[in-house]
Chains A and B, each alone.
Chain A
Amino acid sequence: MTAMFRAVLSSQWKWSRLIVVFGTVAAFAIPLLSLQGAARADRGALQPQELLRAVQSWGTAYPLLATALGLLMAITAWAPDHRGRHIHALTLPLERWRYVLLRFGAGFALLAAPIAAVVIGSSLAALTATLPPGLQAYPIALAVRFALAVFVAYAVFFAVSAGTARTAGIILGIIAALILVQIVATIANLDVNLLSTAQTVLLLGPGPLAVFTGRWMLVDV
């Protein structure tokens, strides 16, 4: 199984190395950039409010990066198999769920690099910055949250991208049906708010996508 994983990892690396490299550089740079106003040689440190605003505005970059990494890695994990109509994968001598697990594991193993880059970048930023009194840096919490977001994004897109066009059609059909029902309910003056309910279920805790919402703060009170 180890040899199989190495083989899958190696092919996955070849397909997604640019994504991994750019993602890792971005993941390392974002925490450093977000704290660049904390203290500079040419002028004094930012006031706490200003610094928090700057950190918060950079905070949106983390979930966006996590989503992009998850999406691109999931696409590259399946694209060659889709092109070959899955014949190669299906004729390999192992159970299909094992192959899916190998592909999933290989992709997530490669995503460890940008996650590690967030750990290193945010720790470095926190160590080198002079924070105003009353503010604290949370590099590990931020990195754990980023790791979770990457995992969720990758898992969701991996599942969607592993499916057939029919599966994608079913998912789009369900979304379209929700929108249609909502429009009909609004026209009929019914007190139904499906979209808002779906949003609440998905995005608010303990919804599966809740990790992407809220404030992503490397520095906070």
Chain B
Amino acid sequence: MSDAIHLERLHYRAGKNFEIPNLDLHVPSGSIYGFLGPNGSGKTTTIRLILGLLRPLSGRITVLGLSMPGQHAHVLGRVGYVPEQPHLDASLTVRELIDFQAAFYPRWDRTRAEELRQRFELDREHLFGRLSKGQKAKLMILLALAQRGDLLVLDEPTDGLDPVVRRDILSALITYVSERDATIFISSHLVHELERVCDWVAVMDDGRLITEAPMEKLKHGTKRLVVIGAPAEIVNPPFRVLTRESANGGGGENWVVGDWEPGMTSYFEGVGASVRDVIDLDLEDGFVELLRSFRGRTRR
């Protein structure tokens, strides 16, 4: 499977306080790729690098097989983008914004745009500045989808929206992907939301990629273990130890591990320990543990 987005050894610095030191990212074509991270972790900066809005100090960015930012005009013709903050002019109406956008995209789908406008109940003559937050988000999604791009890049598209609008938007995205076999790159800090729709996920913190894996692997491979009698040092475990701490009340330790597979309890028997319990974690718990583990390591 080829990559819709491929970042290789990307280095970017913004002032003294923020840096993306060495980022590798592979977004498979046709996937819905969730880009998770807390606020300020570098998600928006990475998206801006992908779209050629920022220039890296070094490294390579390939989007839909073309180099960025060198071939940005060709790439952007095939990419629908929804930024974190609506950036359109407040004095233009819904109709004027749709017409404006249509003029720039050769593959613009007028029928789809009209269909989405009606589905999202957007009044053609309403000024963009007078739309509610949810309506603005819907219009941004409409503009991105009607371009019929091969890649949609969505930066926190549902942040701060009510559940009904969120559902409308996610449903429109899923329909789009199923019809066009497009790729969606969606950043968010709303973990539950991505859990429902994404098949790949990456987690970023402090400008660094913590993990990048298929959703199923991340969800089912991250477990909380209750371990009895584990030695202080363990050598070459077949899983990743994210966190390890004493259990409250009673002996044993709580471990959070990644890349876990069912047969791996035998590893503990080999080091004279035993696993009393294996607890499933949902994506949010896994996400939090990954962040804790990463921050613990970087602090050390």
Contact = CB atoms under 8 A, between A and B. Distances in A.
Verify that A and B bind, or say they do not.
yes
B88 interface: yes
B81 A91 contact: yes
A15 B127 CA distance: 13
A166 interface: no
B126 interface: no
Interface string B53-78: 10000000000000000000111111
B91 A4 contact: no
Contacts of B100: 7, 10-11
Given A7-B103, A10-B99, A11-B100, A91 B91 contact: no
A20 B279 CA distance: 70
B38 interface: no
Interface in B82-126: 83, 87-92, 96, 99-100, 102-105
B51 interface: yes
Given A90-B53, A93-B74, A94-B73, A11 B104 contact: no
Contact of A84 (B53, B88, B105): B88
A14 B99 CA distance: 14
Question: Main secondary structure on chain A at its contact with chain B?
Answer: helix
A87 interface: yes
**How extensive is the interface on chain B, given as a class?**
20 to 34
Contacts, number: 58
Contact of A10 (B74, B91, B96, B105): B96
Nearest to A85: B87
Could you say which of B74, B83, B87, B105 has the most chain A C-beta atoms within 10 Å of its C-beta? B87
A91 B53 contact: yes
Contacts of B73: 93-95
B39 to A, nearest CB: 18
B89 A83 contact: yes
A3 interface: yes
Contacts of A11: 89, 92, 96, 100
A91 B51 contact: yes
A92 interface: yes
A45 B83 CA distance: 66
A93 B87 contact: no
B91 A6 contact: no
Contacts of A94: 73, 104
B96 A14 contact: yes
Contacts of B83: 87, 91
B81 to A, nearest CB: 5
Given A80-B91, A87-B53, A93 B76 contact: yes
| Most chain B C-beta atoms within 10 Å of own C-beta, residue among A14, A15, A88 | A88
B89 to A, nearest CB: 4
Nearest to B81: A91
Contacts of A92: 76, 104
Contacts of A90: 51-53
Given A11-B96, A80-B89, A84-B87, A4 B103 contact: yes
Contact of B89 (A7, A84, A85): A84
Interface string B2-26: 0000000000000000000000000
A93 B52 CA distance: 11
A94 B103 CA distance: 11
Contacts of B76: 91-93
B213 to A, nearest CB: 29
B49 to A, nearest CB: 13
A1 to B, nearest CB: 10
Contact of A3 (B52, B77, B87, B103): B103
A189 B106 CA distance: 66
Contacts of B81: 91
B96 A88 contact: no
A92 B51 CA distance: 10
Contacts of B92: 11, 14
Interface of A: 3-4, 6-7, 10-11, 14-15, 80, 83-85, 87-88, 90-95
Given A90-B52, A91-B81, 19 more contacts: A3-B103, A4-B103, A6-B103, A10-B96, A11-B89, A83-B90, A84-B87, A87-B53, A88-B88, A88-B89, A90-B53, A91-B76, A91-B79, A91-B83, A93-B73, A93-B75, A93-B105, A94-B104, A95-B73
Closest 8 CB pairs between A and B?
Answer: A93-B77, A7-B103, A84-B87, A80-B89, A93-B76, A87-B87, A3-B103, A7-B100
21 contacts: A3-B103, A7-B104, A11-B96, A14-B91, A85-B87, A87-B53, A87-B83, A88-B87, A88-B88, A90-B52, A90-B53, A91-B53, A91-B79, A91-B81, A91-B83, A93-B76, A93-B78, A93-B104, A93-B105, A94-B73, A94-B104
